Structure 1
Amino acid sequence: MPSQPDAPAPAADLALPRARDIEAAADRIAGRVSRTPLQRSARLSEVTGARVWLKREDLQAVRSYKGRGAANLIAQLDSEQIWAGVVCASAGNHAQGVAHACATLGVGARIYLPATTPRQKRDRVAAIGGDWVEVVVGGRTYDEAAAAALADVERTGATLVPPFDHPHTIAGQGTIAREISEDLAGTSSGPDVVVVPCGGGGLLAGCLTWFSERSPVVRVVGAEPAGAASMIAATHAGEPVALPEIDRFVDGAAVQRVGSWTYEVVAAHTPELVAVPEGRICTEMIRLYQSEGIITEPAGALAAAALDSLDGSLAGLDVVVVVSGGNNDLLRYPEVMERSLIHEGLKHYFLVDFPQEPGMLRQFLNEVLGPDDDIALFEYVKRNNRETGPALVGLELGAREDLAPLLARMEEASMQIEPIQPDSPLFRFIL
């Protein structure tokens, strides 16, 4: 997701949240958001040797945890602020969370969506908010929608509801940590490790706040997508910094710059942060669906995908991973499968320059391809309007171990074959 709109200058009475603020938030939003279950994952438990629990925030009414922070912030507005209403800009889960909070609390909202937002997402935000929400298409891009939202705030005096960078938002998201502690208290001494996805840092900051005061032995881990590791960049720089470029695939956690409030909490507690490759996230999305029957968005699988990146053994521990959202577009599954196969070493791309001789394609099929290799893509690259260049060939292998023999056969073939590396600009065309 692009950079979020900055919140107006904080009021003088605002301060970093404490555990007591999270407890108050839990009481404040009770009945307005769901208390989601912890479910044991037999698959992840077997893989790690731990007792792995899934915190199912995908089961919220808006299929993500975002309604927690929005409800906690909006519920604390005074009568004058309620009269002026609230404003937010989002093309994703935050818009739905604000819409749900406004509908349950009876507060008017204008939600700015970029023109690129699919019609079904616009309709869902409108359906969730009902008569309390006005959906405004504000600009061609997210940045233009965010600018329109800020202009609205300045013009009308409405309250901006930030997606993560506000103490009330952080406290609302931190109610997840309190629920985890209470639910595991009945089955064990409590969680040993809690892994949460990190985009702008609201959920991570909330969990750090709760556990640092109420259960400081808990190891809290923040998982970021490798293509948008903005919290890791901030900790290295000593302050929030804007990444020059990000991979937006994990859109629920792909943030160019983390929040100032959220960074301050993270900097104070220095949790473990891990960057998870996007392909690994895709593989976990597929496994969650195939094994647990859970449909997640990319950010929803981020914490579970981080387990094999953690330092040290998890054996025998109670490990909780937050499944943060399930708002996935079915049209994205071909790209999910593609990224997963590439990450698993089962799909590779090559530029093949066939000699202008009869039978060369047949030779490639007979002498280069292995018995379990399939051609997933074959397309000639245009040199100009009259002449074609080499062929772009995508091969799907039966097993990762089949790559070395394939490359050896390519070396012996009487044709020029160039592997395309994942960092090549051609991959943007492929994906």
Structure 2
Amino acid sequence: MSAITPTTLPNVTDIEAAASRIHGVAVRTPLITAPVLDERLGARVFLKAETLQRTGSFKFRGAYNKISSIAPEKRAAGVVAFSSGNHAQGVAAAARLMGMPAVIVMPRDAPTAKRERTKALGAEVVLYDRTGEDRAAIARKIMDERGATLVPPYDDPLIIAGQGTIGREIVEDLTRLDITPDIVVIGASGGGLAAGTSLGVKARFPETALYTVEPEGFDDTLRSFKSGKRESNPNLSGSICDALMSATPGELTFPITRTLIGKGLTASDVEVGRAVRFAFEELKLVVEPGGAIGLAALLAGKLDVKGKTVVAILSGGNVDASLFAQLIAA
């Protein structure tokens, strides 16, 4: 594994460049509030609604920032990515906007809705067995055969910077309200969202406490914070949070999250399901399990937030109708 030097890591200047690049293409999603949530938690809570983002998740930001930066002479060969669904759709949509072909390597157990939407966006989908095959190796083979450019799900400076525009927008919106957040909670898998958002938030609010949130049993980031090195999950599936199933924190993302965040939480599938139901009933939003995990941690009382100003990111809304129906009816 190659060594990481400070020059390989993105910074606030890269986020500013990404913001300019995605302006007018990505949606500037709102920070929403709900009196019922504030009353329940005894806090002032803001939710960054990336469920309303293009393709239904934050992933479009990083994908477009990366793909639009590819040199013109390399665009005809297209792009290749591996993803359980949200990054797949973000890459497919960004590639289509740039007039480039896209191949997406997806696990066979990815939600049907995510697979079908990826195909509908014009991408070629190659399925693999999450527990028995190496998605990165499959993607590399396609790259070698076609000369395509890899668009990683999180471990890339342009991807991280694109996701960092979320933190930038949070900062701008709260600054206009003359509000400083006490706490920001961010769902974590490979760490692209957490790394980018922490860069954007800490640039303006260095005293704000940040926390990652992961599914119980898939807390590689939390364990990595504790050990100081990148830990791995023993299992690659087994949670309803399909969007949060990366095996280990990223080589680029972890140095950022370890420095700027360093604290983590977990939420069970039951707690996540309750958050999905709460978002539907009280906020009138469709949020996928992985996208609701930050809200789940707050609703489950994993943090003492009474009297504080808190931000949670609703990172995606791409959920199979059958699972969604089960969760909201539970």
Q: With the length of structure 1 as denominator, give the TM-score of the two structures.
A: 0.70
Give aligned pairs, total. Answer: 327
Cα contact 1:180–1:191 (8 A) shared by 2: no
AA matched with 1:303: G
Does residue 136 of the first structure (1) align with residue 125 of the second (2)? yes
Paired residues for 1:175-194 under 5 Å: 175-194=165-184
Does residue 113 of the first structure (1) align with residue 106 of the second (2)? yes
Alignment match, 2:141: 151
TM-fit CA distance, 1:278: 1.7
TM-fit CA distance, 1:150: 1.7
TM-fit CA distance, 1:296: 0.9
Does residue 162 of the first structure (1) align with residue 162 of the second (2)? no
- Say if 1:41 and 1:15 are closer, same or farther in 2 by CA, change over 3 A: same
Paired residues for 1:11-410 under 5 Å: 15-117=8-110, 120-128=113-121, 130=122, 133=123, 135-141=124-130, 143=133, 145-245=135-235, 247-307=238-298, 308-315=300-307, 317-333=308-324, 336=327
Unpaired segments ≥5 residues, structure 1? 1-5, 342-431
For residues 312 and 329 of structure 1, the distance between their equivalents in structure 2, rounded to whole angstroms, comes to 33
TM-fit CA distance, 1:26: 0.6
TM-fit CA distance, 1:196: 1.2
Report the 3-state secondary structure (helix = DSSP H, G, I; strand = E; otherwise coil) of the residue aligned with 2:181: coil
Cα contact 2:215–2:239 (8 A) shared by 1: no
AA matched with 1:71: Y
TM-fit CA distance, 1:312: 3.7
- Say if 1:114 and 1:267 are closer, same or farther in 2 by CA, change over 3 A: closer
TM-fit CA distance, 1:188: 2.7
Q: For CA contacts below 8 A with separation 6 or more, give which structure has more relative contact order.
A: 2
- Say if 1:57 and 1:120 are closer, same or farther in 2 by CA, change over 3 A: closer
TM-fit CA distance, 1:231: 0.2
Cα contact 2:276–2:328 (8 A) shared by 1: no
Q: With the length of structure 2 as denominator, give the TM-score of the two structures.
A: 0.90
TM-fit CA distance, 1:226: 1.3
For residues 23 and 157 of structure 1, the distance between their equivalents in structure 2, rounded to whole angstroms, comes to 30
For residues 213 and 116 of structure 1, the distance between their equivalents in structure 2, rounded to whole angstroms, comes to 38
Cα contact 1:86–1:107 (8 A) shared by 2: yes
For residues 84 and 164 of structure 1, the distance between their equivalents in structure 2, rounded to whole angstroms, comes to 22
Cα contact 1:220–1:272 (8 A) shared by 2: yes
- Say if 1:13 and 1:84 are closer, same or farther in 2 by CA, change over 3 A: farther
What percentage of residue pairs aligned between the two structures are identical?
A: 36
TM-fit CA distance, 1:116: 4.5
Cα contact 1:227–1:278 (8 A) shared by 2: no
For residues 13 and 229 of structure 1, the distance between their equivalents in structure 2, rounded to whole angstroms, comes to 26
Cα contact 1:197–1:204 (8 A) shared by 2: yes
TM-fit CA distance, 1:30: 0.9
Cα contact 1:138–1:144 (8 A) shared by 2: no
CA deviation vs aligned residue, 1:391-430 (integer Å, no higher than 9, x gap): xxxxxxxxxxxxxxxxxxxxxxxxxxxxxxxxxxxxxxxx
CA deviation vs aligned residue, 1:196-226 (integer Å, no higher than 9, x gap): 1111111111111122222212222211111
AA matched with 1:190: T
TM-fit CA distance, 1:140: 4.5
For residues 244 and 141 of structure 1, the distance between their equivalents in structure 2, rounded to whole angstroms, comes to 13
Report the 3-state secondary structure (helix = DSSP H, G, I; strand = E; otherwise coil) of the residue aligned with 2:323: helix
Cα contact 2:113–2:319 (8 A) shared by 1: no
- Say if 1:10 and 1:127 are closer, same or farther in 2 by CA, change over 3 A: farther
Unpaired segments ≥5 residues, structure 2? none
CA deviation vs aligned residue, 1:79-124 (integer Å, no higher than 9, x gap): 2332332101223111000011112222221122344556554331
For residues 301 and 8 of structure 2, the distance between their equivalents in structure 1, rounded to whole angstroms, comes to 34
Cα contact 2:85–2:115 (8 A) shared by 1: no
